[in-house]
A and B are shown apart, each in its own frame.
Chain A
Amino acid sequence: MKKEIKKILVANRGVPAVRVMITCRDRKIPSVAVYSTPDRLAHHVFMADEAIHIGDAPPLESYLNMEKVIEAAKICGADALHPGWGFLAENPDFAQMVMDAGLVWIGPPPSVIRTMGDKIEAKRLAKRANVPTIPGIEKVDDIKKIKRWIREEQITYPIMIKAAAGGGGKGMVKVNSEDELKTALSQAMSEARKSFGDDTVLVEKYIERGRHIEVQIVADEFDNVVHLHERECTIQRRNQKIIEEAPSPTLDENLREEICFTAVRLMREIGYRSAGTVEFLFDADTRKFYFLEVNTRLQVEHGITELITGLDIVSVMLDIAMGKPLPFKQPQIHPNRWALEVRLNAEDPKNFSPSFGRITRLQLPHGPNVRLSIGVNEGDVIPPYYDSLFMLLMTAGTNRLDAIRVMDRALGRGLRIEGIKTIQPLLLSIIRHPKFIAGEFSTRFIEEHMDELISMFRERDSDEEVLKIGKFVAEISALGPRDWM
C-alpha cells in the first residue's frame, strides 16, 4: 500500500536525530524536532525545519514520554515518525500508538518489535529457524534456578545475565563467580526495570573472547529480504560498542555467506520490515557463531554499511515505509570498500566516567574518505541526562589498512575537541595497537589491554599545548605575579 510522507517528526535528539534529518533534507521532506528543556539550543533543533518543546530534562518527561511525542506530531501536522535509535525506537507500544494516531511508523511492525524485544521469545524463534543459540535459561528471578542450571548443564563461570527486553548493553551483567551472583542478578533486574520497564532477565553462558558480528538487513512489504553484508563490532567497553567495521576481518567467504544468509532466513521467518540487524556472537576458537538478538531499528553503526555499499539506509527505510519495493535485489549489492567507525563518547578515556560540560572547541577532520555524524555544535553543552555519544567518525579505504590509516589521520591529526573529556585518545590508541591492526581481538580487548592503551595516550600537539600557555597568560594577566614565583 503506497503512503505519502510529507513531514516527518524525528522522535530523538543528538546524533540519531541529526542523521535522520539529513536524509529528510536529501529527500526534500520537511522534518520536525522535539526537544527537552536543556536541549533548547541543541544541534538537532536547528537541523529541523520546525521544533517542538516536549518537556523537562528527565527522559521520562520528554524523549521517553510517548503521549507528548505523539501530541507533538499532531500539533505540527507530521504524517510520519522516525524514532532514530535508543529512547522509543524499540518500544512496540509506542509504534502501535504512532500507527493508531494515523501516522506512518518508519520502522518494523510493532508485533515484530514485541517478539524480538523479548529475548526469550527471540531465542525460541531463532531455534525454530535453525539459527544456533547460546546455552542458557529463561525467565530467571532467583539465584537457585541459576545454580541448578549450572549444576545440571555443567556450565562453568562466567555467565551473563541479560534483560529480556534489553539492548545496547544496558541491563547486562557478567558474573564471574557464584559470590557475585546475588548482587549481579538484582542489578540486572533493576537496570532492566529502569531502562525497559520490565525486569525479566535471562541467563546465558558467557563466551570468553567472543567476537561480535552482525548482519544488516532491509526488508520491504513484498517479502524482499536483502542483507547488506556484515559488520564487526567486537571492540566494546562495558558491553557497549565503540569501534565497528565492515566487512568483518574475522570471517572467510564461506562463513560470511553462511552468516548473512542465516540472518536473511531468520528475518524472513519473522516477517521483518524496514531496516534491522541480526547480531551474532562468534567464537573464534571453535569458529561457530551463535544468535544473540535482533535489533529492530536503525543502528548506530549503520553508516559503515552505507560507506561500503553506497546506499542511504535511512532513505531506504523511508521508501519501505512509503510502501515502495526495495530499489535493489540481493545480487546488486556489491560492497567494494572497507569502512571503520569510532564512537566519540563524552567520557574520561581512562575510566569511562561521564564528562559533562560545554564543548568550547570542535575542529573537525577533513580529507578523502572521512564521514562524520555529529549531534552537537561547537559551544553546545553535553547534558548529564542522556547518552554520552555525541559524534561518530567513519573512514573508508580500499582495504582495512587503508581505512585504519585514514582513521589515524582523522582522529590523530584532524579532530580536536576541547571543553569536555572524550574517549578520542583511547580510540586512537586502539586503532594504533598492533593487535587491532592484525585483526586479533575479542570483546575483552579493552579490558585486557587497558594499561597499555592508556600508556599510548600522550601525544604532544602544539595547538593543544598552546592553550595551556594561554591559560597561564590569562591567569597572570588577571592576577599579577604569584606568591610561588
Chain B
Amino acid sequence: MKIRSQKKKGIIQKEPSPEYIYVRPGMSPSEIVKKVRTLDGVGITSTGMRDAGQSDYKNRHRIFDLRTLAPYYNRMGLFSAECHGGARWHVGIMNRKESPFEEIEILREEMPNVLLQTLIRETNLWGYRPYPKNVIEYVVERVDIDVWRCFSFLNDIRNMRAVAEVVMKRGRLFEPAISFTQADWATNEYYLGVVDEIVSLCGGVDEIILCIKDMAGVGSPERIRSLIDAIKQKYPDMVIQYHRHSTDGLAMPALLAAAEAGAKLLDAQEDSLTRFYGQAPILALQAYLEEAGVRVHLNREATEGAVQKVREWIGFYEWAESPFRGFDHNVTKHRMPGGAFPSSFEQAEKGGFLHLMPDILKVMSLYNQIVKYFDVTPGSQITWVTCSGMVNKYAKEHGKTGVNNLIRLLDKFVVEKKQNFSRMTKKEQEELLQLFRTAPGDFKNLLLGGYGKLPVGWPDNWVYQSAFGEEWKEKIKERKELSPLDSLKDEDLEAQRNDLSEKIGRPPTEEEFILYLMHPKDALEYINFKEKYGETPLVIPTNIWREGLKKPGDVVEFELWGKPYSIELVSIGDEHEGLIHVVLRINNRTIVYTVETPRLKKAEIRMAKAPNEIGAPISGNIWRIGNPERGTIHVGDIVHKGEEIANLEAMKMENAIIAPFDARIKEICVKLNDSVVEGQLLFVLENL
C-alpha cells in the first residue's frame, strides 16, 4: 500500500476570475466597506478553515488538509476566509502541534486574493483570561490578519478598545461583533445601545463591518429580521454581517431573513464539512437565497471544487466528531455555543460523565437566567465548568436522585418563584447559599468584575453570598466597574521573554514568545515538540499523523523543503522492558528507532533546582567528595563559601564544585565514582 501525501506542486493554479474578486488584502478598511456596500447581492465569509472545524471536529482539522482548499478559495470570490483565532490557536499548539503563525504564512502564499480573518475575544484574545493592555497591543501588532472580528462575551464594548485601536491604526479592517442571544432581556433597544457604543468607539460606520454573532445558533428568523431592520433604520450605511451556527436547525431561514433585512455578509462552510453545530452549507445557501431573489456573490464552480476537495480528507477526522450528534433545538434554552459543543462533550466523555449531559444542559438553561451574560468564550467555559461541576458534585454525593433534586430546586427558584429568594423555604435557601461555594475561580472573578461589566447588571446578592460565604459583603465592595483594560497592570514583557529564554535554553523567536504570552505551559510543550519532531505536523498526512504506518512495506511519501522523501516501515519489534525497536527506511537508508513505551521504568535523576541545591556543572564522573585539605565531606559537615566540596572529572579535565555560601551539608546525593549528567543534584545545603 502506498499512502501519498498531497503535493502542492500537483495542483493546477488557475488564474482567479477577476469578476468574482471584489476585495483583496492590501485594500483600506473604507475601500473594503464601500465595495461591500455596493455589492450586488450578499457576500460570503467561509468558516471552513476555522469555525466549521471547531464546531464539529474539536478544531482538529490540520493545515496539511485545509491548505488543499486554498487554491479554490483564491478563486471563489469570498469576502473573507475565517482561518484563525477562536480556539484554533490554542488547540493548534496543544493538539495539532501547529503554530497559528505558520498557518497564516502558508495561506497567505497559497490564497493571496483572500482576506484572512480571525476571531478575537477582546481582552481575552486567544487565551481564556483578561490580558493587560500592553500584552494585547504587543500581540495584535504582530499578527498578519486582514479582518479582525472581535467580540465580548459581556458585550462590554469598552474591552474592545485596545484591539480596535491597534487594528485600525494598522489599516486593517476591524469587525466588532455583538454577542447575540434570544432572551426576554435581550431586546432591540438593548442591542441598539451596544451598537451605539460600537459606533462611538470606531468613529462612525465607514471603516467597520458590524457582526451579529449568533454563536449558539438560537436566533429565530423573525427575531433576526427585526434586529437587523432596527439597526439598519438607525444606521442605514452600516454594513452588517450575520454569523450563525446551525445548532437549532433553523440556520437557512434565519440567514435568508438576515439578508432580506439588509445584512450584506453571511457566514457559510463547505457542504461536505457540514454536520450540526457549524455554519450553513455554502452551495445550498447560495441556491436557497437565489431562489428567494437574493443574489449571492460566489463563484459556484470554484466552490464546488472546494466542497469536493473536502471529501478527500474529511474521513480522517471521524474520531474527532462530537459524540452528541444531530440538531438540538433546546439550544435556545441551554445556549451552548456551536464552538463549544464537541469539546464539552469530549470532556464529559473523558471525565466519565457523558450520561449526565442532558442534566448539565438543563442546569445551564436555568443558570443562565440567574447570572446573565453571553455563552461564548470565556463565558461558555465559565458556564460549563460551573454547571458541570455542580451536577457532578450532586451526582457524586447523592446519585441520580441528587441531580434530580438540584434541577427541581433551580427550576422552582427560577420558573415557579421568579427568582424571588425570600419565597423559597428556609431549607431551600440554605441549599442555594451553598450552590456556588465550590464554583471555579473564574466564575468568582466574573462576579467581581474581573472581565468587565455584566451586560444587564450584576446578579442578586444571594449569588455572592453563595459564592463567597461570610465575606460576601466585602467582596461586593471590591467589585470592579472598570474594564480590565483599565484595571489590569501591564506585564513586564522583557522579564517574560527572559523567562522563556531560560526555559528553552535559547532566545525564543517572536512567534514563540507570543505563543508563550498566551498559553505559557502549552507553548513550552509545543516548542519542545517541535525541537523533537521538527516539521512533522506540516508534512505528514493525517492518517499517518494519527495512526502511523501499519504494516511492513507501508510507505509515506512527502516533500520537505523542496526535496522528496519517503518513509517505509520495515518492522516493529516486540516490546522488551518498555522498549520497542522500530526499523524504518528513510529514502534508501535503514534506521532503527528505539521507542519508549509508557511502561518503561526510567531511573529518575534528581536535578538541582533550588538555590541550596548544588548541581553538576557538566556531565562527568565524581571522583572526589570533599577536598584534599579536609578529606571526605560527610552529611552534617560545615563547609565555607568558596570551599571545594567535590570534584568532577570529564574527559580528563577537573572541575571543582564550590560551596556557594557557608552551609551545613544536608544531603549528599551521589556516591564516589558515580557518573552524573549535567545539572544532576549532588548536594543539598542548609543555611547556617
Interface residues of A (CB under 8 A from B): 169-170, 179, 182-183, 186-187, 190-191, 194-195, 238, 347-348, 350-355, 360, 384, 386-388, 454-455, 460, 462, 465-481, 484-485
Kindly report which residue of chain B lies nearest to residue A363, judged by CB atoms: B589
User: In the complex the two chains form, is B653's CB within 8 Å of A473's CB?
Assistant: no
User: In the complex the two chains form, is A479's CB within 8 Å of B595's CB?
Assistant: yes
Question: Assuming the A-B contacts A187-B654, A388-B651, A462-B561, are A477 and B569 also in contact, with contact meaning beta carbons closer than 8 angstroms in the complex?
Answer: yes
A148 to chain B, nearest CB (A): 22
| 19 A-B residue pairings within 8 Å (CB atoms) | A170-B653, A182-B642, A183-B656, A190-B654, A347-B651, A348-B678, A353-B650, A354-B618, A354-B651, A384-B621, A468-B536, A469-B533, A469-B535, A471-B593, A472-B540, A475-B593, A477-B548, A477-B572, A478-B595
Kindly report which residue of chain B lies nearest to residue A482, judged by CB atoms: B546
Considering the chains assembled together, what is the distance between the CA atoms of A238 and B548 in angstroms?
Answer: 46
Question: Assuming the A-B contacts A183-B656, A384-B675, A469-B540, are A475 and B619 also in contact, with contact meaning beta carbons closer than 8 angstroms in the complex?
Answer: no
User: In the complex the two chains form, is A469's CB within 8 Å of B628's CB?
Assistant: no
User: In the complex the two chains form, is B642's CB within 8 Å of A183's CB?
Assistant: yes
Considering the chains assembled together, what is the distance between the CA atoms of A388 and B627 in angstroms?
Answer: 26
User: In the complex the two chains form, is A475's CB within 8 Å of B540's CB?
Assistant: no
User: In the complex the two chains form, is A481's CB within 8 Å of B539's CB?
Assistant: no
**Residue B577, interface by CB 8 Å:** no
Of B133-141, B162-170, B578-586, the one contacting chain A is: B578-586
Considering the chains assembled together, what is the distance between the CA atoms of A473 and B595 in angstroms?
Answer: 10
Chain A residues contacting B629 (CB-CB under 8 Å) are 186
Chain B residues contacting A468 (CB-CB under 8 Å) are 532-536
B447 to chain A, nearest CB (A): 33
B519 to chain A, nearest CB (A): 14
Considering the chains assembled together, what is the distance between the CA atoms of A476 and B505 in angstroms?
Answer: 28
Question: Assuming the A-B contacts A170-B653, A460-B561, A467-B586, are A472 and B547 also in contact, with contact meaning beta carbons closer than 8 angstroms in the complex?
Answer: no
User: In the complex the two chains form, is B546's CB within 8 Å of A485's CB?
Assistant: yes
User: In the complex the two chains form, is A476's CB within 8 Å of B545's CB?
Assistant: yes
Chain B residues contacting A187 (CB-CB under 8 Å) are 644, 647, 654, 656
A58 to chain B, nearest CB (A): 11
In chain B, residues 657-681, which have Cβ atoms closer than 8 Å to a Cβ of chain A?
Answer: 658, 675, 678
**Residue B2, interface by CB 8 Å:** no
Q: Is the interface of A mostly helix, strand, loop or mixed?
A: helix
The range of chain B's interface size is: 35 or more
Chain B residues contacting A354 (CB-CB under 8 Å) are 618-620, 650-651
Considering the chains assembled together, what is the distance between the CA atoms of A20 and B161 in angstroms?
Answer: 75
Q: Which listed residue, B544, B621, B652, touches A476 by the CB 8 Å rule?
A: B544
Q: Which listed residue, A350, A352, A469, touches B534 by the CB 8 Å rule?
A: A469
Chain B residues contacting A182 (CB-CB under 8 Å) are 642
Considering the chains assembled together, what is the distance between the CA atoms of A472 and B556 in angstroms?
Answer: 13
Chain B residues contacting A471 (CB-CB under 8 Å) are 532-533, 593
A430 to chain B, nearest CB (A): 18
**Residue B567, interface by CB 8 Å:** yes
Contact with A along B624-655 (1 / 0, CB 8 A): 00011100000000000010100101111110
Kindly report which residue of chain A lies nearest to residue B545, judged by CB atoms: A476
A176 to chain B, nearest CB (A): 13
User: In the complex the two chains form, is B582's CB within 8 Å of A474's CB?
Assistant: yes
Question: Assuming the A-B contacts A183-B642, A351-B618, A471-B533, are A465 and B547 also in contact, with contact meaning beta carbons closer than 8 angstroms in the complex?
Answer: no
User: In the complex the two chains form, is A183's CB within 8 Å of B647's CB?
Assistant: no
Considering the chains assembled together, what is the distance between the CA atoms of A182 and B630 in angstroms?
Answer: 14
Further pairs besides A352-B618, A469-B535, A479-B597: 12, Cβ < 8 Å? A191-B653, A388-B651, A462-B560, A466-B565, A467-B591, A468-B533, A470-B584, A470-B593, A471-B532, A472-B533, A476-B546, A481-B547
User: In the complex the two chains form, is B95's CB within 8 Å of A472's CB?
Assistant: no
